[in-house]
Amino acid sequence: MKILIVKTSAFGDVIHTFPVLSYLRKKFPDAQIDWVVEKPISHLVEAHPDVHRVYPIDSKQWRKLRSLGGFFHYRTQLRSERYDLVLDLQGNMKSGLVTFLAKAKEKVGFARESVSEWPNLLFTNKRYNPPKGLNIREDYLSIVQQHFGDCEQFEDPGVVLEVSEEQRKKIEDILAQSELREGKRVLVCPGSAWHNKQLPYETLRKVLQGMPGSSFLFLWGNDAEKVFAQSLQQEFPEKSIVIDRMDLPSLQNLMSSMDLVFSMDSLPLHLAGTTTTPTFSLFGASSAEKYRPKGVQHCSLQGECPYGRTFEKRCPVLRTCPTGACIRELTSEQVLEAYDCPQGFGVR
- pLDDT value at residue 115: 98
Asked whether this chain's domains 2-147 and 169-339 adopt the same fold, the reply is: yes
Determine if residue 15 is left, alpha or beta; phi over 0 gives left, psi from -120 to 50 gives alpha, anything else beta: alpha
Burial label, 308 (beta-carbon count in 10 A; 0-12, 13-18, 19+) = exposed
CA 232/CA 217 separation, integer angstroms: 10
Q: Which residues of the chain have pLDDT under 50?
A: 344-346, 348
- pLDDT value at residue 346: 47
- pLDDT value at residue 175: 97
| Contact in structure between 48 and 18 (CB atoms under 8 Å) | yes
- How far CA 339 is from CA of 62, 112, 144, 260, 273, in Å, comes to 47, 40, 35, 11, 17
Q: pTM here?
A: 0.94
| Contact in structure between 228 and 252 (CB atoms under 8 Å) | no
What is the amino acid identity at position 192? S
Query: 112-153 pLDDT, tens per residue?
Result: 999 999 999 999 999 999 999 999 999 999 999 999 999 999
Among 248, 74, 287, 226, residue whose Cα is nearest residue 160: 248
CA 17/CA 50 separation, integer angstroms: 13
CA 61/CA 9 separation, integer angstroms: 15
CATH of span 2-147: 3.40.50.2000
> Angle, nearest 10°, between helix axes 165-175 and 248-256?
50
CATH number 3.40.50.2000 is the correct assignment for the domain at 169-339: yes
- pLDDT value at residue 208: 97
Q: How does strand 279-283 pair with strand 260-264?
A: parallel
What ranges do the domains of the chain cover?
A: 2-147, 169-339
Q: What are the counts of helices (DSSP H) followed by strands (DSSP E) for the chain? A: 15, 12
- pLDDT value at residue 345: 41
- pLDDT value at residue 271: 98
